[in-house]
Amino acid sequence: MAAPSLRKRLLFALVILVAFFVGLELVAMGVGAWLRAHPYRAAEIDPTVLAGIPEAELVVVCAGDSWTQGFEVAEEEAYPAQL
């Protein structure tokens, strides 16, 4: 049996590469849709509760990635909730 020609091997590699990037794009679209559906962990906080906090009180801002957000743990278990 003869080895595939260079043209066939390059075409096969191109098809695999395109399939990989299409799959990667689909995953990115799914993650983006999930993030748009869940924009904030504490979105259910009532703004009237925040209105009673004095201006001179210390405010801590936690900015970061999924570790900061507490991805895959309960909101009260994430470290910003512990502050």
The total number of structural domains that make up the chain:
2
pTM above 0.85, yes or no: no
What does the pLDDT read at residue 55? Answer: 66
Same domain? 63 vs 80: yes
Sole residue written with tokens 């405010």: 59
What does the pLDDT read at residue 58? Answer: 59
C-beta separation of 62 from 68 below 8 A = yes
Handedness of CA 48, 52, 74, 71 (dihedral sign): positive
Same domain? 50 vs 81: yes
Cβ-based neighbour number of residue 32 at 10 Å: 10
Same domain? 24 vs 56: no
Per-residue pLDDT of 23-44, as tens digits, reads: 999 998 888 777 777 656 555 5
Question: What residue numbers bound the domain in which 9 lies?
Answer: 1-39
Same domain? 34 vs 48: no
Query: Can you list the alpha helix ranges (DSSP code H) found in 38-63?
Result: 47-51
